[in-house]
Amino acid sequence: MEHFPSTVGRILERSARRTPRRVALTFAGRSWTYAELDTAVGRVAAGLLALGLAPGERVAAYGKNSDAFLFLFLGCARAGLVHVPVNFNTVGGELAYLLTQSEPAVVFTDPALADRLDAIEADLAGTRRGTLHDGPPGTDVLAWATDPAGTVHHEHGVSDDDLVQLLYTSGTTSLPKGAMLTHRALVHEYASCIAALDLSPADVPLHALPLYHSAQMHVFLMPGLAVGMTNHLMEAPVADEILTRVPRDGITSLFFPPTVWVGLGNHPGVAEADLSGLRKAYYGASIMPVPVLQKWQKLLPGVGFYNCFGQSEIGPLAAVLRPEEHEARPDSIGRPVLFVEARVVDPEMNDAPLGEVVYRSPQLCRGYWGKPEETAEAFTGGWFHSGDLVRVDDEGYLYVVDRIKDVVNTGGVLVASREVEDALYTHPAVAEVAVVGLPDPRWIEAITAVVVTRGPVTSDELIAYARERLSAHKVPKAIHLVDALPKNPSGKLLKRDLREQFGGASSAVGRG
């Protein structure tokens, strides 16, 4: 019997056959049924192949959220090409690194970002360029998708073991690495998401985070297309637009990282907003402070909250804390999803109640593009090493203590930055907080908090507040008040930027 591969492209084909007339996607006033979306993707695949691209070649996407961005990913998948999404905030040397390390045959961009590619033209060494939308028809993704006379390519010759995406890690601690994801890895990950997150054709999600990031694309939008949802896409998570669109579009589910949930919760219009249609609230990408979670649970008492945990290399969903599990364990990330096996180990790979969480899973990447040494290190002992320090209870629930690199060594005692952050988040004047360890001749690392306030408060007052709630060795030695915390477009805090900014500072106080 002929082997029929389970590929990313086949997922959309099946949805289009089941519900051809259902609306699959809306963006910027455009609406696509499942049949129309399937045809559009076939046209984009044909357009890519007409450029002479060979199976396995890389195609970079450098743009903000749009329907065209999704078409390009799915068109690459159908054509046997490898999609390389690039953070649209990346510029200069970092952009040149991504667009040379991944060795793309062609780069598609938003016209508004084209000048950034012009600035690194020498590094691109003649790499072909196209546009995602509003460009010349011969090399424009949206033009291909909407051309009624365009050729429609039907998938053939694509194996589920083929690479479909190079997904670059966020690079919050080092240069980004391109995780090599296969069709098989993503299809398994989509199945895990559908099972763990109770995804249903009746759900109506609003997708606002960047599609270049694995969470929005591979935990929510692609699984949503797999089950037949109507998906609403917006360019960016703008609070006013979110609060308007939830009632207007009948939105039933939202996903944001904690930083966006914090910002939305602090928005002056949230108290009057009609959020009664929401049924599911997902959070992830970084640790959610328990006080922030509890605030939202009070605001949305009829909504089920899901904690989504993982990382790019595993597709990215690895563990979920479901709504019915929140009351007993609000600080847990839950248990591993359907296709993920997890262990908590010590440095010698022995099972331990506290240690690094390691994974085995068909969802895992094949390794890092062009980085064999980093790949070997990440898969030491036959398990993928996450870099997350966690503890596990006797029922298998996992609790993130910290990223291993974010644990602060103060006077020889290890302190989790999250514990200090959670304590400060309970102060009514604290809007956001990040805790880092800075080099210190006495303490090895001095616990330092960087705080965005929403009311009058001094650093000394916050230190005194922390002293009432934390052991003496966990109290910040310094607190800086700032107007904003550095984040990447996915909402992750960039603690490395804080270490660089404040690493030379002495004791701590004031806004700066």
User: Same structural domain for residues 369 and 387?
Assistant: yes
- Of 14-23, 236-245, 267-276, 401-410, the poorest mean pLDDT is in 401-410
User: Same structural domain for residues 150 and 233?
Assistant: no
pLDDT tens for residues 188-214?
999 999 999 999 999 999 999 999 989
Q: Which of 372, 403, 434 is the last residue of a domain?
A: 403
Does a structural domain hold residue 384?
yes
Q: Which of 365, 387, 403 is the last residue of a domain?
A: 403
Q: What is the largest CA-CA distance in the chain?
A: 73
The answer to whether 420 and 466 have CB atoms below 8 angstroms apart is: yes
Give the number of other Cβ atoms within 10 Å of residue 333's Cβ: 24
Please report the beta strands in 183-236, taking only residues with DSSP state E, as ranges in sequence order: 205-207, 231-233
User: Same structural domain for residues 143 and 218?
Assistant: no
> What confidence category does residue 33 fall into, taking pLDDT thresholds of 50, 70 and 90?
very high
User: Same structural domain for residues 311 and 455?
Assistant: no
Query: Average pLDDT, stretch 377-399?
Result: 95
- The whole-number pLDDT of residue 492 equals 73
pLDDT tens for residues 349-364?
999 999 999 999 999 9
Task: Give percent of the chain with pLDDT exceeding 90.
Answer: 78
The answer to whether 305 and 327 have CB atoms below 8 angstroms apart is: no
Question: 413-415 and 408-410: which strand pairing?
Answer: antiparallel
Distance CA 451, CA 458 (A): 10
Does a structural domain hold residue 510?
no
> What confidence category does residue 20 fall into, taking pLDDT thresholds of 50, 70 and 90?
very high
User: Same structural domain for residues 253 and 138?
Assistant: no
Q: Pick the residue with more confidence: 366 or 258?
A: 366
User: Same structural domain for residues 136 and 267?
Assistant: no
User: Same structural domain for residues 47 and 120?
Assistant: yes
Domain count, the chain: 3
Query: Average pLDDT, stretch 84-100?
Result: 92
Query: Average pLDDT, stretch 213-221?
Result: 96
HSE-CB at 434 with a 13 A cutoff on CA atoms is: 23
- Rounded to 5°, the CA angle 136-140-146 comes to 105
Q: Which of 403, 434, 453 is the last residue of a domain?
A: 403
User: Same structural domain for residues 308 and 427?
Assistant: no
Kindly tell me if the per-residue pLDDT of 233 is higher than 60.
yes
How large is the angle between the packed helices 239-248 and 258-265, nearest 10 degrees? 80
CATH code of the domain covering residue 99: 3.40.50.980
Give the number of other Cβ atoms within 10 Å of residue 414's Cβ: 13
Query: Average pLDDT, stretch 373-396?
Result: 94
- The whole-number pLDDT of residue 508 equals 42
CATH code of the domain covering residue 319: 3.40.50.12780
pLDDT tens for residues 64-75?
999 999 999 999
Query: Average pLDDT, stretch 157-168?
Result: 97
How large is the angle between the packed helices 417-425 and 290-299, nearest 10 degrees? 40
| Parent domain of 141 | 35-159
> What confidence category does residue 174 fall into, taking pLDDT thresholds of 50, 70 and 90?
low
The answer to whether 270 and 299 have CB atoms below 8 angstroms apart is: yes
Distance CA 227, CA 19 (A): 10
- The whole-number pLDDT of residue 250 equals 98
- Residue 458 backbone dihedrals phi, psi, to 5 degrees: -105, 165
CA end-to-end distance (rounded Å), the chain: 67
User: Same structural domain for residues 119 and 145?
Assistant: yes
Residues 6+ away with beta carbon under 8 Å from 230 = 22, 23, 24, 25, 26, 204
Distance CA 187, CA 200 (A): 17
pLDDT tens for residues 276-301?
999 999 998 777 888 889 999 999 99
- The whole-number pLDDT of residue 441 equals 81
For residue 414 the two structure tokens come to: 């290890």
> What confidence category does residue 506 fall into, taking pLDDT thresholds of 50, 70 and 90?
very low
CATH code of the domain covering residue 495: 3.30.300.30
The answer to whether 106 and 82 have CB atoms below 8 angstroms apart is: no
Kindly tell me if the per-residue pLDDT of 507 is higher than 50.
no
In what helix (H) or strand (E) does residue 83 lie, and over which residues does it extend? strand 82-85
Residue carrying the six token digits 């616990």: 447
Q: Amino acid identity of 6?
A: S
How far, CA to CA in Å, does 501 sit from each of 175, 444, 448, 496?
Answer: 18, 18, 12, 9
The answer to whether 463 and 480 have CB atoms below 8 angstroms apart is: no
- Of 2-6, 130-134, 172-176, 260-264, the poorest mean pLDDT is in 172-176
- The whole-number pLDDT of residue 512 equals 37
Does a structural domain hold residue 15?
no
Query: Average pLDDT, stretch 308-334?
Result: 95
Residues 6+ away with beta carbon under 8 Å from 446 = 410, 437, 438, 439, 440, 477, 478
User: Same structural domain for residues 391 and 413?
Assistant: no
Residues 6+ away with beta carbon under 8 Å from 138 = none
Closest CA to 60 of 44, 75, 82: 82
pLDDT tens for residues 110-132?
999 999 999 999 999 889 999 99
> What confidence category does residue 409 fall into, taking pLDDT thresholds of 50, 70 and 90?
confident
Does a structural domain hold residue 8?
no
Distance CA 167, CA 319 (A): 19
- The whole-number pLDDT of residue 80 equals 98
Does a structural domain hold residue 284?
yes
Does a structural domain hold residue 199?
no
Query: Average pLDDT, stretch 390-401?
Result: 94
User: Same structural domain for residues 128 and 259?
Assistant: no
Does a structural domain hold residue 194?
no
User: Same structural domain for residues 43 and 107?
Assistant: yes
Query: Average pLDDT, stretch 28-35?
Result: 98
Task: Give percent of the chain with pLDDT exceeding 70.
Answer: 96
Query: Average pLDDT, stretch 308-336?
Result: 95
Query: Average pLDDT, stretch 375-390?
Result: 94
- Residue 143 backbone dihedrals phi, psi, to 5 degrees: -65, -40
Does a structural domain hold residue 12?
no
Rounded mean pLDDT of the chain? 92
Kindly tell me if the per-residue pLDDT of 55 is higher than 50.
yes
- Rounded to 5°, the CA angle 73-77-80 comes to 135
DSSP 387-454: EEEEEE-TTS-EEEEEEGGG-EEETTEEE-HHHHHHHHHTSTTEEEEEEEEEEETTTEEEEEEEEEES
